[in-house]
């Protein structure tokens, strides 16, 4: 292996590219590890550094800005990212000795041809932070010592302020702290009972726990290996899916009978598979996805779950469905593109890649999708509108605006279509709402029925 190609060096390259382009961190990590390291621990370290730095970015930068005699904003991207990697290891990776965290960071810069004065500066700053570690503010604090709450909680100020106004200081801190904890792996069982699947996991030395809200959910709090290594992967006995997503897709109904159904924004097919499993013999399901990569993965996931024969797929968009479908769909799932601010704990870069203006842009797309779905719906049909956003502009306000233009639709309470433990996740308006500090991804769901 080239001496400059190690887990830390590759993580540094990922972070440089991410900071420069605001590209999806998931895609950058996936691309960087297409050529995996021989030792799987190096793959894990590379991932841990890339995701960990982005997750704690606001906190790391606040510390670096206070303790450095050179403004952070004036540093070269390479220097900033190297400092972040070094400081993250010092503060959040207990198994990495402080000397290794500092020396390996300096080594990264030397191997990139950086001058001696700069490597000396980085070495000195990290050593100072290590010496004064006991005096550093904790991430669970809410301010003080010239550190703002949003810095300590590692969220952009605009988002923190939004939540502060809506939820108050304590709940906002709770939400931010939940986002800063890596979300555990959650599976939805299929074709096997949950108890039997947990027994299979136990036989393989893997601890599985029952989910709280969904009867098919299994939590794997300790699992850190590749998902295909889990027992039952090849047989299609599970798919990766958060409890909130399992529940949200289920709002369309516990059984889909007597007609045609449409998954209008199928994505990778997680919710498509759940709908297909609930499909009665006298019903059909069409899954639509415009993106080529996602469409290919949709087909692969349906095949792995042995559902390809039950679902027709179309690479296209809702607007591509024309008059030939004039008989209408009995039920349509619209899992709309959104800001993703409800899934920050799984995709930590989302908080830094979004701006307030994005909400209006997404809202416009979401409303258009709802109106397109309404055009395709049969009389007395149902549209289930979903987002993985926490923000009212993409959720309640989209539904309100849709209903204002379509008085032939009404909101139906989601509670009747959820398992009993999930009833508490429905608000007074009948909308399904989850938030990260409940141990769930942040989701919104509305069941809209055509006809009064």
Note whether 450 and 403 are within 8 A (CB): no
Residues 176, 186, 388, 414: which is the catalytic one?
388
pLDDT, position 141: 64
388 is catalytic: yes
pLDDT, position 3: 54
pLDDT, position 1: 40
Give this prediction's pTM. 0.94
In a 3-state reduction of DSSP, which class is residue 85? Answer: helix
Average pLDDT along the chain: 94
* Fold (CATH) for 185-240: Alpha-Beta Plaits (3.30.70)
Question: How many other CB atoms are found less than 10 A from the CB of residue 173?
Answer: 22
Q: What's the CATH superfamily of 7-136?
A: NusB-like (1.10.940.10)
Segment 281-339, tens digit of pLDDT: 999 999 999 999 999 999 999 999 999 999 999 999 898 887 555 679 999 999 999 99
Structure-token pair, residue 208: 């599985």
Separation CA 279–CA 272 (nearest Å) = 11
Residue reference for tokens 């009212």: 392
In which residue ranges of the chain is CATH 3.30.70.1170 found? Answer: 185-240
Domain 243-450 in CATH 3.40.50.150: yes
Question: How many other CB atoms are found less than 10 A from the CB of residue 369?
Answer: 24
Segment 125-173, tens digit of pLDDT: 999 999 999 999 887 666 666 899 999 999 999 999 999 999 999 999 9
Mean pLDDT of 384-411: 97
User: Going by DSSP bridges, is the β-strand pair 238-240/283-288 parallel, antiparallel, or unpaired?
Assistant: unpaired
Note whether 204 and 166 are within 8 A (CB): no
In which residue ranges of the chain is CATH 3.40.50.150 found? Answer: 243-450
Segment 64-114, tens digit of pLDDT: 999 999 998 899 999 999 999 999 999 999 999 999 999 999 999 999 999
Note whether 55 and 23 are within 8 A (CB): no
Separation CA 2–CA 11 (nearest Å) = 15
Residue 17's φ and ψ, nearest 5 degrees, are -70, -40
Q: For residue 406, what are the contacts with CB-CB under 8 A and spacing of at least 6? A: 371, 374
In a 3-state reduction of DSSP, which class is residue 442? Answer: coil
């Amino acid at each position: 292996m080239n001496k400059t190609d190690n887990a830390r060096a590759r993580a540094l390259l990922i972070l440089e590219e991410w900071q420069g382009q605001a590209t999806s961190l998931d895609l950058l990590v996936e691309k960087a590890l297409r050529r995996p390291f021989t030792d799987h621990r190096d793959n894990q370290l590379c991932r841990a550094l890339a995701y960990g730095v982005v997750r704690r970015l606001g906190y790391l930068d606040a510390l670096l800005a206070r303790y450095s005699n050179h403004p952070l904003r004036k540093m070269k991207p390479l220097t900033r990212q190297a400092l972040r990697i070094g400081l993250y290891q010092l503060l959040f990776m207990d198994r990495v000795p402080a000397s290794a965290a500092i020396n390996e960071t300096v080594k990264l810069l030397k191997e990139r041809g950086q001058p001696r004065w700069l490597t000396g500066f980085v070495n000195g700053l990290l050593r100072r932070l290590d010496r004064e570690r006991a005096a550093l503010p904790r991430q669970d604090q809410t301010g003080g010592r010239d550190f703002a709450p949003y810095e300590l909680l590692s969220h952009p100020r605009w988002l923190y302020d939004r939540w502060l106004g809506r939820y108050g200081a304590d709940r906002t801190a709770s939400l931010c702290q939940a986002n800063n904890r890596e979300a555990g792996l959650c599976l939805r069982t299929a074709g096997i009972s949950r108890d039997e699947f947990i027994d299979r996991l136990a036989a393989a030395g893997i601890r599985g726990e029952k989910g709280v809200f969904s009867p098919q959910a299994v939590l794997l709090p300790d699992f850190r290996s590749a998902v295909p290594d889990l027992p039952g992967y090849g047989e299609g006995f599970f798919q990766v899916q958060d409890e909130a997503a399992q529940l949200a897709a289920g709002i369309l109904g516990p059984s889909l009978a007597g007609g045609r159904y449409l998954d209008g924004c199928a994505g990778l097919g997680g919710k498509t598979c759940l709908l297909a499993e609930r499909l009665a013999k006298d019903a059909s399901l069409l899954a639509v996805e415009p993106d080529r990569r996602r469409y290919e993965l949709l087909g692969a996931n349906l095949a792995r779950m042995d559902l390809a024969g039950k679902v027709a797929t179309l690479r296209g968009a809702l607007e591509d469905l024309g008059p030939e479908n004039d008989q209408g769909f009995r039920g349509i799932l619209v899992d709309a593109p959104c800001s993703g601010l409800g899934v920050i704990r799984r995709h930590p870069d989302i908080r830094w890649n979004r701006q307030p203006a994005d909400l209006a842009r997404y809202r416009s797309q979401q409303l258009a999708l709802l109106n397109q779905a309404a055009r395709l719906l049969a009389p007395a049909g149902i549209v289930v509108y979903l987002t993985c956003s926490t923000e009212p502009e993409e959720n309640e306000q989209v539904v309100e605006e849709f209903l204002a233009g379509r008085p032939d639709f009404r909101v139906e309470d989601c509670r009747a279509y959820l398992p009993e433990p999930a009833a508490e996740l429905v608000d007074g308006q009948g909308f399904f709402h989850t938030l990260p500090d409940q141990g769930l991804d942040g989701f919104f769901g509305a069941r809209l029925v055509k006809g009064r």
